[in-house]
Structure 1
């Protein structure tokens, strides 16, 4: 009997141990399930929080106050405005085109090639007909950079008030399925509102500070106007990232010419030379008489090579058509292209130094300061292709 009781006790003890082990395993399994569920819920909540944070940051990025963008203090507000316009509309490129004052065109682009800039600038300004903005499409005939698809469409609106200048700011996309939304229009309009005052002041379109005076003998712009006009054009070139060239020419042996034909006749030579200058320059140029037989031509949108062609045209005109009693008159020239480090004084000084070098080398020749070596090329060169029609050309 005692033996059976002992066996039963052992069986019960074993069963209790088994039940205990099963209970522990069930408890651990349940705990694992609870832990897994909690971790899954934690991951879901963390992912949701991350998405909310991302959306909030995107909203803040797109709607942050434009005053914080420091357009007022930016030295190149037009280019900065283009960068912001492209960023805020997720566009592939942006362009600004302004014509005002003397009619000097200003073209600035971000994300576009020279050929694309040419094509779009050639289209001119749209008729907004009271609309805040208009969407434009392209037939795919624009030559795109290698590896890129052509520009397909764009959204454009006036950059400056109509009473200041013809203008546009446009964002462009290479995605054929992209359609600009009302949010894009609102964002672009808000940007333009903030960008207008600094761009208008920088371009000096509201009220020209410079009222050029004319030289009494030649009717070209006079020496007093030269530094002020040059400073304005230097600023405009830097704002819009287009080149600027200065050509200074001087009549060779003017003292000898005065002695040979007399001062009055020599003044007639200078007057005729001024007329010849007008015949070879175009309406974008500023021509000055600096005094004596020295003249200067400021060429917005031109590089040294283009200014060299202008000098060659002047030289060839004088050689082919002698001036009355003076006979063949030659001129020497010095050319400077605008560089990053230049101010008005250094820009003029480089052109004058090139002129001095040309006279030392050989009268009737031209020297380009620095020869353009090692300098990055500008986006393009502004050329007149027809009366009143100016485009950017590479």
Structure 2
């Protein structure tokens, strides 16, 4: 099909779209800018027409094309242009087309949807330009800004020691890019939803615009995939779809209230770029950038953003691995030091803590007490009610004892039904009072599936030159006297 309704400079062009209605609309809107406009419904037809004669402008409307299917064919069209202008009409929600096709040759772009007047202006500008700006012709100021961004991002990665620190550092680095009003990082949590991990920006934009807080704008700081703006705000949309999302006109997302609020905060353009996952699956999150002015991003700027997103993915993975290692170490430590049944310190850990507390007591010349107790007639409980009830008794005794102990006291399971209490900064007299509270609390404790139980206790204070073994022997001797005295009582160890 050929359109020849305006002879403005004898320009020729090809418009490519698989949608018949869009071909008609483009011909009606922009046909007057060309002496000869060819309308093509596929890449093969467009290639035939380029082979017949190189047009002044190739316009590729990317709506309804799929990157996974059509990239090679469309990229070949760009490559065959030999540097002649190519204008991409790119849907805002799939802006990754732009850097992908820019790899084949120089391109200009306009983000859609656009009205007829804006479309005419974009086509006229592309026709007037000898060739879109590429990385080889980027001005020195832009290159310096990209180099500075790279330096700041690398510094943020080196300085980060956790996810929060990494996110804050990356946001500060991106917010330092000239023209960026605000930068944020959204992170996908283990439950699959998004959280605003960090944000940074200038305190006021052009005209004294107020500071921007995304948690206020979006209505919440977490579970952001459930906010009504998840389909419109570029950072959220990028994190949900894995796409590069670009609004160079805020109204393109179809949310006038959001657009008006962003303008109030000095924002004219918004971009979201997904932070890729390790493999197939949902993105790790997204970077969000808000600019004070709308402008076309050069291919090297898109490349820089994709590089930052890739580095963010690596940094987040390393930080997550570090957190996983910390949690694993904490779990291993817990398993190796705590009694699995009762959740109190096990015998080995108790012995280590006792040695540590003895050294501390000697160094600072403070008292240290040790209380030993065991459950009276525990064997008979097991025989009468069974081992499962015996386990309940052990847990209930520990819960009752811990309820009356101080935060600095340590309860240790030293044997089957035998326990110790390490009581720092505690004299023998105070330890006797503590032991009596424990005895009463356990005697009054209700135990599911069994009668009330009692305990016998021994108390000893560390001697001036006494070893841990000696202290344990003395407190166990006191415990034995309590047993002989009729059980359910407290005895003080002899010096």
Give the TM-score normalised by the residue count of structure 2.
Answer: 0.32
Give the TM-score normalised by the residue count of structure 1.
Answer: 0.40
